Amino acid sequence: MKNLRLKSARAAKDLSQDDLAKACSVSRQTISAIEKGDYNPTINLCISICKALDKTLDELFWE
């Protein structure tokens, strides 16, 4: 399932996939795969993404 909330939150912060990836110490491809629903991130990566986007886990990752 695509993670449109993540994509929307990233866009709202005016961050590219590459910007978010660098902030979370992962590759741009990893962020792209998460947004497409092709990759299930670890809890630590989820937390890192949430911190970078000022969001909670529930806001970005809970269905």
For residue 46, with 0-12 CB atoms within 10 Å meaning exposed, 13-18 middle and 19 or more buried, which class applies? middle
Q: What's this model's pTM, rounded to 2 decimal places?
A: 0.93
Count Cα neighbours of 59 within 13 Å in the Cβ-side half-sphere.
13
Q: Where residue 8 falls among pLDDT bands split at 50, 70, 90? A: very high
Residue 6 has a pLDDT of: 97
- 3: its two tokens: 């993670």
Alpha helix (H) residue ranges in the chain: 4-12, 17-24, 28-36, 43-53, 57-61
pLDDT at 29: 98
CATH 1.10.260.40 fits 4-54, yes or no: yes
- Each domain of the chain, given as residue ranges in start order, spans 4-54
**Per-residue pLDDT tens over the stretch 28-47:** 999 999 999 999 999 999 99
What confidence score (pLDDT) does residue 63 get?
77
- Examine the pLDDT at 27 and tell me if it is beyond 90: yes
